[in-house]
Amino acid sequence: MAAAGSLVTDAVVSSALEGRIAVVTVNYPPVNALGAAVRQGVSLAITQAEQDAAVGAIVLVCEGRTFFAGADITEFGKRMIEPSLRAMLAQIENATKPVIAAIHGTALGGGLETALVAHYRVGVPSARVGLPEVNLGLLPGAGGTQRLPRVIGVEKALDLMTSGALLAAGPALTMGLFDELVEEGELRKGAINFANKVLDERRPLVKVRHRSGKLDEARANPKLFTDFRKANAKRFRGFKAPENIIRSVEGALQLSFDEGMARERELFDELLQDSQSAAMRHVFFAERQAAKIDDVEPDTPTLPIAKVGVIGAGTMGSGIVMNFLNAGIPSVIVETKQEALDRGLGLIRKNYENTAAKGKMKAEYIEIRMGLLTPSLALEDLADCDLIIEAVFENINVKKEVFAKLDKIAKPGAILATNTSYLDVEVIAAATSRPASVIGLHFFSPANIMKLLEIVRTNYTALPIVATAAKLAKTIGKVGVTVGNGFGFVGNRILAARDREVNKLLLEGATPSEIDRVLYEFGFPMGHLQMRDLVGLDVGWDRETSASSTVREILNEMGRHGQKSGGGYYDYDEQRNPTPSPIAAKVIADFAANQGVAQRNVSEDEVRDRVLYAMVNEGARILDDKIAVRASDIDIVWITGYGWPRYRGGPMFWADLEGLPKILARLKELEAAHGADFTPSPLIERLVSEGRGFVERQ
Ligand code: 3HC
Ligand code: NAI
């Protein structure tokens, strides 16, 4: 073998000759996004390798944690620096020497599109590939919609592209996307060996664009696209990217390759200019920004969490503990009575069994996970836990009592957390002799599934405790958002504002279906009252003190607790389908009469403005009160915890799109008609006077 020689050397792209193979290595941390420097470097390296008679084939490989993670998202909307990604890909595809993409980590978006113009693809077994542009409100715009269907088939490609899901190396090999898998950790060597084999065997320059077999299969099923649209109608509702992806793939079947590429480009540009993509790109960065806490530095110490305790095995406690079992962390769960403990353990086991039955978890993991859990009736069993999370009844006295006891039991340095929904974490902390160790960890139901974790810091919480909580959120796969201590924190405070407005609208004459339709059409998975019925109207309702003082109390007193009891704001059939309820309508009308509220026709526009603007105004007040440090954190809370449609970017981003001057003017009208609930927050007044929006404010 000839000695390795250096062809191009640059910090970003370097090229070395290994025998007759030019190994082009990209090193552009953190994720090798295909920014201008990468495109220029790769393009130059390919040109040089083409010109160099000593080079027989080219291996394209990346340093660091991953193969190209896609186009550089920060470049979208800016002036393009040559060569474009498409030009770089055309150069690779048209190279006269075989190009082999060598893949590790995740080849995503433009990264996979790069691999798809290579003549061959090899990868390590842990590699994964995908076209997740849909998560940015886009479509794969560098040939992905034209090439992926040609390799793995139209239906599979549609599934991957519209869901953004990743494909593991194993299935990718079976589907022919990879030509060979090489030993883990030996990618470079494996790819060079493969390249030599290609040369020895005089294998051709295979171009995906010339494959048509899979497209012919799809042409044989004319209903394919209609069926796909129909099957996913609910999921794609209101969201433009999936429809453009489908249309682009239709183009692959109907048009020549070049025409298909042109169609793809048009459909991509259309999405890129749309506010949905702007919203989703905002969410992408906002989610990562949320993980950054102003005063937490890389060297802020964090505490090891080797054992976790959870108090209360009800709805929340049983879900919360599963997060730790799933992460392999031994945990203790404490209840007051054996019966409640058994019920909680039963819930956890059943949950795992269901997951295994759906094929989402191997059956042997049920016992492995349950084996990490110690059930107990004694708080003393939490003595050696590093983190203890309380999830008992939402009652300040009960919580104070639990924390006072815990203070005597928990080891020094242990983190004491509460999962309270609304209560004052500082008051709870004051029940202990160590308020610096107390923090709120607010999970969302179902706690083993929902991605959001509000991390509530008080004026006393020590920095390492906050840093540990943020790190822990990542460990258990949550999106942690650090918030301040105040009624309902961020999420529930805005929910309470929405609830207040919905209740007023009900009394004024808007029906549950009318209110919910506005929210559903906006893109929420369900309306406010449907959600209330689903959660249960009796959650947080105290039978003892109930005094028929709200519609909800009256419905509860009548035994109408929501879906589970067959009725709440709606009536439900056996399949739990909602229908408008004459009984609830009468309760509402009678209550309104009692309160002296005249019922009238309320327009959809009024519902929309009052409900959504009330939320935005509350978000602004949250910023005024410094309960959230960034507007984008509020967006992340509502997207990950409450079903705000991602393609609308969260309430604060949406408010900017709507226009703050417009919102301010409408809030003033609503204030005149309905009083102080609509008094514009000082922040909105200030931003409008400065001609700014919430999100630019960062
Ligand atoms: N462009 C620019 N920056 C990117 C990026 C991209 N494509 N992908 C990630 N980054 C940045 C992140 O913003 C983050 O920056 P920060 O450290 O300043 O916050 C940093 O890289 C690390 O990212 P993560 O924290 O997400 O790292 P992980 O290791 O958790 O995840 C990943 C890595 C799976 C690659 C994940 O970052 C990811 O999913 N990236 C986006 C992939 C994607 O959507 N690709 C398609 C892009 S669009 C496209 O290719 C269009 C084409 O079809 C024309
Ligand atoms: P739950 O009523 O289902 O469970 C509470 C459990 O705590 C019961 O099993 C009870 O026996 C147990 N318990 C009470 N006192 C105890 C003690 N001293 N020691 C040990 N166990 C004790 O209530 P849920 O819904 O799980 O709520 C728990 C907490 O989580 C509340 O603070 C609630 O506000 C909060 N929360 C609830 C959410 C929900 O959607 N249900 C969402 C987020 C937070």
- Three-class SS of 233-257: HHHHCCCHHHHHHHHHHHHHHHCCH
DSSP string, 330-394: -EEEE-SSHHHHHHHHHHHHHHHHHHHHTTSS-THHHHHHHHTEEEES-GGGGTT-SEEEE---S
654 and 279 in contact (C-beta within 8 Å)?
A: yes
Alpha helices in 96-223 (DSSP H): 110-117, 144-152, 154-163, 169-174, 187-200, 213-219
- Ligand 1 atom 36: residue of nearest CA: 69
Q: What is the mean pLDDT of residues 96-110?
A: 98
> Is the beta carbon of 662 within 6 A of some atom in ligand 1?
no
Q: How many domains does the chain have?
A: 3
CB neighbours of 68 closer than 8 A, spacing ≥ 6? 26, 31, 32, 33, 34, 38, 62, 107, 108, 110, 111, 114
Task: State the average pLDDT over residues 606-626.
Answer: 98
Q: Examine the domain organization and report whether 473 and 534 are in the same domain.
A: no
Name the residue at shortest CA distance from atom 38 of ligand 1: 69
With tokens 């990264």, the residue in question is 111
pLDDT of amino acid 8: 57
Residues spanned by the domain of 83: 5-257
User: Which of the listed residues 66, 73, 139 should we mutate to test ligand 1's pocket, taking the one with most ligand atoms within 8 A of CB?
Assistant: 73
| 50 lies in the same domain as 165 | yes
Which pLDDT band holds residue 698 (cuts at 50, 70, 90)? Answer: very low
Integer Cα distance of 354 and 360 in angstroms: 9
Backbone φ and ψ for 641, nearest 5 degrees, come out as -110, -25
**Ligand 1 center to residue 108 CA distance, Å?**
9
Res. 242 pLDDT band, cuts 50 70 90? very high
Q: How many other β-carbons are positioned within 10 Å of the β-carbon of residue 402?
A: 22
Looking at the structure, tell me whether residues 15 and 88 fall in a common domain: yes
98 lines ligand 1 (CB under 6 A): no
Amino acid letter for position 408: K
For the chain, give the percent of residues with pLDDT over 70.
98
Going by C-beta distance under 8 Å and a sequence separation of 6 or more, which residues neighbour residue 18?
A: 1, 4, 192
**Ligand 1 within 6 A of CB of 89:** no
pLDDT tens-place string over residues 377-386: 999 999 999 9
Of all protein residues, the one whose alpha carbon is nearest to atom 54 of ligand 1 is: 141
Contact 439, 458 (CB under 8 A): yes
User: Which residue, by CA, sits nearest to atom 14 of ligand 2?
Assistant: 392
State the Cα–Cα distance between residues 548 and 587, nearest whole angstrom: 11
Q: Are residues 252 and 313 in the same domain?
A: no
Same domain flag for 123 and 227: yes
For the Cβ of 30 lying below 6 angstroms from any atom of ligand 1, the answer is yes
Q: 588: which DSSP letter? A: H
Closest CA to 530 of 566, 578, 494, 564: 578
d(CA 633, CA 480): 10
What pLDDT score was predicted for residue 1? 35
Q: Does the residue 244 lie in any domain?
A: yes
Ligand 1 neighbourhood includes 533 CB (under 6 angstroms): no
Residue 7 pLDDT greater than 90, yes or no: no
Residue 676 in domain: no
Regarding whether 106 and 21 lie in a shared domain, the answer is: yes
Kindly state the tokens that stand for 89.
């890909």
Burial of 64 (0-12, 13-18, 19+ CB in 10 A): middle
Quote the CA–CA distance of 630 and 622 in Å, as a whole number.
10
| pLDDT the model gives residue 11 | 86
418 and 351 share a domain? yes
Strand pairing category for 13-18 and 5-6: antiparallel
CA distance 494 to 413: 34
Confidence of residue 9 (pLDDT cuts 50, 70, 90): low
CA separation (Å) from 633 to 54, 148, 684?
A: 54, 35, 17
The answer to the question of residue 612 being in a domain is no
Domain co-membership, 447 together with 543: no
CATH of the domain at 439: 3.40.50.720
Q: What is the structure's pLDDT at 386?
A: 98
> CA angle 507-508-509, nearest 5°?
90
Q: Which DSSP string corresponds to 10-55?
A: -SSEEEEEETTEEEEEE--TTT--B-HHHHHHHHHHHHHHHH-TT-
Average pLDDT over residues 87-113: 98
d(CA 528, CA 513): 10
Tell me, yes or no, whether 208 lies in a domain.
yes
User: How far, in Å, is the centroid of ligand 1 from the Cα of 252?
Assistant: 27
Task: Work out the burial of residue 314: count CB atoms within 10 Å of its CB; fewer than 13 is exposed, 13-18 middle, 19 or more buried.
Answer: middle
Say if 439 falls within a structural domain: yes
Contact 100, 194 (CB under 8 A): yes
CATH number for the domain that contains residue 27? 3.90.226.10
- Asked if 4 and 18 touch (Cβ cutoff 8 Å), the reply is yes
pLDDT at 394 over 80: yes
Confidence grade of residue 212 (pLDDT, cut at 50, 70, 90): very high
Integer Cα distance of 480 and 637 in angstroms: 9
Based on the fold, state whether residues 85 and 196 are members of the same structural domain.
Answer: yes
Q: Does a structural domain hold residue 548? A: yes
Of all atoms in ligand 2, which is nearest to the CA of residue 418?
A: 32
Residue 217 has pLDDT above 50, yes or no: yes
CA 601 centroid distance within chain = 38
Cβ atoms within 10 Å, residue 272 = 17
Q: How far is CA 579 from CA 126, 408, 574, 599, in A?
A: 49, 52, 12, 21
CB 631 within 8 A of CB 683: no
- Indicate if 577 and 455 belong to the same structural domain: no
Query: What is the biggest distance separating any 2 CA atoms in the chain, rounded to whole angstroms?
Result: 94
Domain with residue 584: its CATH number is: 1.10.1040.10
SS3 at position 313? coil
Rounded Cα distance, 462 and 295, in Å: 11
Ligand 1 pocket, residue 108 CB under 6 Å: yes
pLDDT at 6 over 80: no
Sequence-distant (≥ 6) Cβ neighbours of residue 289 within 8 angstroms: 630, 632, 633, 698
Strands (E), 301-423: 308-311, 331-334, 373-376, 387-390, 415-418
The closest alpha carbon to 447, from 641, 263, 260, belongs to 641
Ligand nearest to the CA of 541: 2
* CA-based radius of gyration for the chain: 28
Pocket test for ligand 2, best of 315, 347, 445 (most atoms within 8 A of CB): 315
pLDDT category, 414, cuts 50, 70, 90? very high
Q: How far apart are CA 378 and CA 193, in angstroms?
A: 61
The reply to whether 98 and 213 lie within a common domain is yes
* Domain presence at residue 609: no
Does residue 579 sit in helix, strand or coil?
A: strand
Assigned domain for 679 exists: no
Give the Å distance between the CA of 298 and the centre of ligand 1. 20
* Confidence band, pLDDT 50/70/90 cuts, at residue 516: very high
Query: Can you give the pTM of this predicted structure?
Result: 0.94
Other C-beta atoms closer than 10 Å to the C-beta of 527 total: 25
**Cis status, amide bond into 651, omega within 30 of 0:** no
Closest CA to 649 of 289, 139, 284: 284
Q: Do 569 and 585 form a contact (C-beta atoms < 8 A)?
A: no
| Average pLDDT score, the chain | 96
Do residues 167 and 160 lie in contact, with contact meaning Cβ atoms separated by under 8 Å? yes
Report the nearest atom of ligand 2 relative to the CA of 401.
Answer: 18
174, 218: one domain: yes
Cα 566 to the center of its chain, rounded Å:
32
pLDDT, tens digit, for every residue of 427-474? 999 999 999 999 999 999 999 999 999 999 999 999 999 999 999 999
CA of 71 to the centre of ligand 1 (A): 9
